[in-house]
C-alpha cells in the first residue's frame, strides 16, 4: 500500500512547470493558428455542437485552460481541474472567468451528482493510475442529457504498428494506461452512457516515411485531420487516426 502511494506521488511530480516543454509537448506551438490552437477550437466546437447550449462545463486535465476559453461566458460557466499548480495559474490568466482547482481526475467529490452539462477530458485518462474509477466520476457529475467528450491515444491506429516505439502514444512517459478503443468505450457504457460517436483525428504525427521531408508529409498525411478540425466535422474513422474521440450522452 505504502509502495503504491509513493509510486503515485512520484508520478504526480512529473506534472510541473516543465511538463509543457518536454515529452509530447516538446515541439508544440501555443501560438494562434497552431495545431494546438486548432485542436482546442475543434474540441470545444464538438462539445457545443453535440452538447447542451448552455450550462456548466468541466474540463478535466485543463492544462493551460485554452479550450475553455472558447466557451461564451454568457452561455456557459466553465470549470477546470488539473494536478499541475503551475498550469492552473496560467489557466486562470488565460480564462479569467473560469473557476480552476487542483483536483485528481479519479476523485471529483467536490462536485455533487449531476452537476455539469458538459464534461471534457482531452488526453487525460491515459495518464491515470485508475482510469476506470475516473470515468465513473466523470459520469457521476454529468447531468442527465449532458455530454461527455473524451479523447485518448488510439491503440488501434495502424501507425502504432508501423512506427512501433516511435509512435506518438509511446512518446510521453506519463502515458501509463494505454488501452484499446473497445476498452475505453466499455468503461463509458458501463456507466449508463450512450455512445453517440467514436471517430478519430487523422495522421498528424509526421514523419511517417523515411527519406521524404517532414514538411511534405504533413499535408499528405495530416490533410484529412486538418480539414476535419477546421470544418468541425466528426467523420474520420478510427483506422485513420492517432486518437480515439468519443462523444457520449447521459440519459
Cα angle for residues 184, 148, 157 (degrees, 5° grid):
40
Question: Residues of the chain with pLDDT > 70: what percent?
Answer: 90
Q: Model-level pTM greater than 0.85? A: yes
Half-sphere exposure of 114 (CA within 13 A, CB side): 5
Average pLDDT over residues 86-91: 95
Residue 197 confidence class, pLDDT cut points 50, 70, 90? very high
Q: Cβ neighbours of residue 35 under 8 Å, at least 6 residues apart?
A: 28, 29, 204
CATH number at residue 79: 3.40.50.150
Position 90 pLDDT exceeds 60: yes
Work out whether strand 55-60 and strand 76-82 pair parallel, antiparallel, or are unpaired: parallel
pLDDT for the residue numbered 6: 47
On whether the CB atoms of residues 72 and 98 are closer than 8 A, the answer is no
pLDDT for the residue numbered 111: 98
Tell me the per-residue pLDDT of 99-143, one tens digit each, with 9 for 90 and over. 999 999 999 999 999 999 999 999 999 999 999 999 999 999 999
| Farthest-apart Cα atoms in the chain, separation | 54
Phi-psi region of 103 (alpha: psi -120 to 50; beta: other; left: phi over 0): beta
Asked, as a colleague might, if the bond just before 207 is cis with ω within 30 of 0, I would say: yes
Q: How far apart are CA 58 and CA 47, in angstroms?
A: 11
Q: Which of 8, 23, 231 is nearest to 133 (CA)?
A: 8
On whether the CB atoms of residues 240 and 202 are closer than 8 A, the answer is yes
pLDDT for the residue numbered 19: 75
Domain count, the chain: 1
Q: How far apart are CA 235 and CA 241, in angstroms?
A: 11
Tell me the per-residue pLDDT of 223-250, one tens digit each, with 9 for 90 and over. 999 999 999 999 999 999 999 999 999 9
Dihedral angle at the C-alpha atoms of 49, 56, 106, 167, nearest 10 degrees? 30
The x, y and z cell numbers of residue 188, run together, are 463509458
Residue 167 confidence class, pLDDT cut points 50, 70, 90? very high
Average pLDDT over residues 203-216: 95
Round the CA-based radius of gyration of the chain to a whole number and report it. Answer: 17
On whether the CB atoms of residues 174 and 153 are closer than 8 A, the answer is no
| Residue bearing the bigger pLDDT, 20 or 33 | 33
Give φ, ψ of 230 to 5 degrees: -65, -40
The x, y and z cell numbers of residue 242, run together, are 492517432
Q: How far apart are CA 97 and CA 103, in angstroms?
A: 19
Residue 28 confidence class, pLDDT cut points 50, 70, 90? confident
Sign for the pseudo-dihedral over CA of 117, 57, 246, 112: negative
The x, y and z cell numbers of residue 76, run together, are 456557459
Alpha helices in the chain (DSSP H): 2-13, 35-50, 85-94, 131-141, 158-163, 181-190, 214-231
On whether the CB atoms of residues 67 and 42 are closer than 8 A, the answer is no
Give the residue numbers spanning the domain of 204: 2-250
Amino acid at each position: 500500500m505504502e509502495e503504491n502511494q509513493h509510486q503515485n506521488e512520484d508520478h504526480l511530480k512529473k506534472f510541473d512547470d516543465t511538463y509543457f516543454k518536454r515529452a509530447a509537448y516538446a515541439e508544440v506551438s501555443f501560438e494562434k493558428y497552431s495545431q494546438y490552437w486548432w485542436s482546442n477550437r475543434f474540441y470545444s466546437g464538438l462539445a457545443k455542437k453535440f452538447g447542451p447550449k448552455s450550462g456548466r462545463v468541466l474540463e478535466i486535465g485543463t492544462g493551460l485552460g485554452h479550450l475553455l476559453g472558447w466557451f461564451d461566458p454568457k452561455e456557459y460557466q466553465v470549470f477546470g481541474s488539473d494536478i499541475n499548480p503551475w498550469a492552473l495559474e496560467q489557466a486562470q490568466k488565460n480564462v479569467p472567468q473560469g473557476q480552476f482547482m487542483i483536483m485528481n481526475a479519479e476523485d471529483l467529490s467536490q462536485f455533487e451528482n449531476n452537476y455539469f452539462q458538459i464534461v471534457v477530458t482531452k488526453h487525460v485518462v491515459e495518464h491515470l493510475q485508475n482510469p476506470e474509477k475516473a470515468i465513473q466520476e466523470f459520469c457521476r457529475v454529468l447531468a442527465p442529457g449532458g455530454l461527455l467528450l473524451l479523447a485518448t491515444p488510439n491503440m488501434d491506429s495502424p501507425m502504432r504498428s508501423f512506427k512501433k516505439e516511435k509512435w506518438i502514444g509511446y512518446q510521453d512517459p506519463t502515458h501509463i494506461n494505454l488501452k484499446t478503443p473497445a476498452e475505453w468505450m466499455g468503461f463509458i457504457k458501463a456507466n449508463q452512457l450512450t455512445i453517440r460517436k467514436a471517430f478519430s483525428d487523422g495522421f498528424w504525427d509526421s514523419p511517417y516515411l523515411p527519406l521524404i521531408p517532414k514538411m511534405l508529409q504533413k499535408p499528405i498525411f495530416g490533410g484529412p485531420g486538418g480539414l476535419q478540425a477546421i470544418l468541425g466535422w466528426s467523420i474520420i474513422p478510427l483506422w485513420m487516426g492517432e486518437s480515439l474521440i468519443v462523444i457520449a450522452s447521459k440519459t
